[in-house]
Amino acid sequence: MKAEVILVFGRICSGKSSFQSMSYRIVVSNIVKDLMKSDDREKLQNSMHLDERIAEEIIGVLDATSTCIEKGIIKRRPIIVDGIRQSTIVDKILEWYPDSVLVWLDVSEAKRKQRYELRKDEKDTEPFEIADNKPIELECQKIFNNFKDRLEIINNNQ
């Protein structure tokens, strides 16, 4: 029996990284950093052409983690994949893990802006309004549009 896989989506500062903290977690931005060999946010946001490679890496980690769960090497817990920004990546993962749960974290723009400003991340070098409208963020919104019939929508405004 394959492990439970949960794909978590949401716009910038929607709470993806803190969703279900007791799960195994695959952070897509870490995969992108490895593929791009960079930590520079501007470069990382220009990674849409790597969608096939990103999907392959995610599936590889999912397979390895799922195998460890199946063999009892690690505890049975859901595997969270957070930070996917392209529908093509979701499509590829669903080919391998069709029973994945898709979760959209719905947060008001005002709340996301507040979180963005409060987190004071050194990588946040531009105002929220610019960061929230980068092409990669708008791609994330396409995920919502393309998969809305399948998404479990969770209000995460707290």
**pLDDT tens digits for range 115-124:** 999 888 877 7
Among the residues of 45-158, which ranges form H helices? Answer: 51-70, 87-96, 109-119, 128-131, 135-147
Q: What is the pTM of this model?
A: 0.87
- Counting as low any pLDDT under 70, the low residues of the chain are 1, 38-48
Rounded CA separation 102/30 (Å): 20
CA 82/CA 18 separation, integer angstroms: 10
Taking only the tens place, the pLDDT of each residue in 30-39 is 888 888 775 6
CA separation for the pair 144, 117 (Å, rounded): 24
Query: Which pLDDT score, from 0 to 100, does residue 51 have?
Result: 87
> What confidence score (pLDDT) does residue 47 get?
57
Give residue 110's pLDDT: 94
